[in-house]
Amino acid sequence: MEKILVIGCSGQIGSELTLALRKLYGNENVYATDIKQAPADILETGPFHILDVLDYNTCCILQYVIISRRCIIWLRYYPAMPKEFRNKPGKSI
């Protein structure tokens, strides 16, 4: 079975996507992560870990797990947009 990692699962899009993917692929096959604690429905339905993707060591571990071990074949990234980029025309990340 395919393994899926969702980064940014606590927001509106990420949480809805995580629950939908868990229904399709099974709770144990969708790993939810975020920089903050997830909502109860995410915590109750499958694996969750706090993850800071801006941390260098975390990125090294992710690279090892995803590329070297090939444990996860889908990666969904739904981070929140930084406040300084919200509602500012012409700005891009």
Burial readout 24-58 (b: 16 or more C-beta within 10 A, e: otherwise): ebeeebbbbbbeeebbeebeebbebeebeeeeeee
Q: Is residue 48 part of a domain?
A: yes
Q: Is residue 87 part of a domain?
A: no
Q: Is residue 86 part of a domain?
A: no
The tally of domains found in the chain comes to 1
Q: Is residue 77 part of a domain?
A: yes
Q: Is residue 89 part of a domain?
A: no
Task: Tell me which residue range forms the domain holding 52.
Answer: 4-81
- pLDDT tens digit sequence for 25-82: 999 999 898 889 999 999 999 999 888 877 888 878 777 776 666 666 666 665 665 5
The yes-or-no verdict on residue 86 having pLDDT over 60 is: no
Q: Is residue 90 part of a domain?
A: no
Distance CA 41, CA 19 (A): 8
| CATH number of the domain to which 68 belongs | 3.40.50.720
Q: How far is CA 77 from CA 28, 29, 81, 84, in A?
A: 19, 16, 12, 20
Which residues make beta-bridge pairs with 76? 6
